[in-house]
Structure 1
C-alpha cells in the first residue's frame, strides 16, 4: 500500500487506488458487513462498502481533514461526508462560505462541486463505533501523505475536524514537508491556530458530528467563523 500510494501520479489515480485498499482486516470486515446488512431506510440501495477517496479540486488552497467515513454515509454513497447529517452541516457551511456550489450532499452524482477546497479523511474506511485504532490510522497514513503531496503547490490551510484529525496532521509535516512536528504538540481546540514556516496553517474545528451539532457545542456561526478565517489565511476571495 505504501508503494502504491507513493506512485500515484495525480488525484484521480490516487482516488482509484484508495478505493481498492484492503490493508486493515477489521475495517474491511466492518465496511462490508454494513454494506451487506444495511440500514432499514436504505435497504433498497446498493452500498459502496469500500474505502472512500477524497473530494475536491487538485489546486485546492484549503484542506478539510476529517476522521473517517460514516457507516451509512460515505460508506453507503461512496463520497466523503455524503448522505449523513454530519455532511448536511458541513456542506451547508461550505456553501455559505462560497466553497461549495450547493448546500446539500446526498449522493455521489448530485452535482456537488467544491471551490478551492479538498476534503480528506485520516482513515478511509468506516470504523466500528466511528473509532479507528491508532494502528489503523497509521496504516492509512500513506494515502493522506500522498494526497497532501499532490495538492502541496497550492495548499495553504488545513482545517482539522476534531482531535483525531488534529493529531493526524503532525506526521504529515514530517513525511511531506520534512519538518519536525512542534514539541510539545499544540493542543486541539475549536478555533486553535498553529502556523509553521513554509507549511500550511492548521486550524482546529469541532467535528461536525451529531453529538456536537445537536447539543449546540458546534453551531453554524462557529463553523462560519472557522471557514472565514481559513479563506483569509488561504487568500481565497
Structure 2
C-alpha cells in the first residue's frame, strides 16, 4: 500500500518498488534479462525509474517513459540512449547540466535547478503505454509536482503524450487548466494560474527528443536549446 511521501527521496524510493502494471513489469524485466547485444555484459536496472534532479528545482522537464535499453538499463531518466544524448547536450549548452553526456547513474552528471521526470515510470513495449497504465502511474507525478511546488516555476513538456498526461496532474496539484484546454505545439507557452496562494506556472511545449524527430530534423539542437533558454529565463534560473 502506498503511503504519502514526505520528500522526493522517499517518493523516488517508493517509485522504484512499484509493480502496479503487470504488462509493464513483465516487459521491463524481460528486457533486463534478454538485453541488447551491445549491453550483454551489463546489469539492467529493469525497475521503475525515478525522477532525476534537485528537490528544489525551479524547472521540470517531462518526457514520456523510460527507454527499454536507455533508462531501463541505467536507472536514470534519459540516460544511455540517443534521445538522452540530444537532451543532455542541449541542457549543458544552456547551462542547466554540468556535462553534455549521460551514460550511467554514477557518471558525475549534475543538473542545475532542473528535474527530469515522466508520466510513466516503466519502459513500455513499443514505447507506447496504454491509457490505463498512464492513469495508474499518474499519482507518482502528482505527488512529485506537489513536493516541487514551493520552488517550481516552469515545465518543459517533450511531446504530445507528456502534455496530455501532465495536465490532469497539474490540475490535481495547484494549477488551473484554462478552457479550452491548451493544445500541445512546439514552442507553445502557456501561463497557468495557481489554485493556492503560490505563484503561477509557465508551461512550455517542445517536440520530443526521439530519434524519429531528431534524425529527420523535425527537432534540431537549436530548436531544443531555444525552448530550454526560454524556460530557464521564466523559471528564474
Gaps of 5+ in 1: none
Cα distance in structure 2, aligned partners of 1:45 and 1:232: 39
Cα distance in structure 1, aligned partners of 2:171 and 2:76: 28
Cα distance in structure 2, aligned partners of 1:222 and 1:70: 23
The answer on whether the counterparts of 2:142 and 2:170 sit within 8 Å (CA) in structure 1 is no
Cα distance in structure 2, aligned partners of 1:127 and 1:137: 10
Cα distance in structure 2, aligned partners of 1:173 and 1:105: 28
Is the aligned partner of 1:161 residue 2:162? no
**Residue aligning to 2:221:** 220
CA-CA distance at 1:162 after TM superposition: 0.1
Gaps of 5+ in 2: 195-199
Of 5, 11, 15 in structure 1, the residue corresponding to residue 12 of structure 2 is 15
Q: CA offsets, 1:177-205, max 9 Å, x none?
A: 163x2222111111011112233111000
**How does the TM-score come out when normalised to structure 1?**
0.96
Q: CA offsets, 1:126-163, max 9 Å, x none?
A: 00000001111110000000111111101000100000
- What aligned pairs does 1:78-93 form with structure 2 within 5 A after superposition? 78-93=75-90
- What aligned pairs does 1:27-176 form with structure 2 within 5 A after superposition? 27-176=24-173
**Residue aligning to 2:212:** 211
**Residue aligning to 2:232:** 231
Cα distance in structure 1, aligned partners of 2:138 and 2:152: 18
**How does the TM-score come out when normalised to structure 2?**
0.96
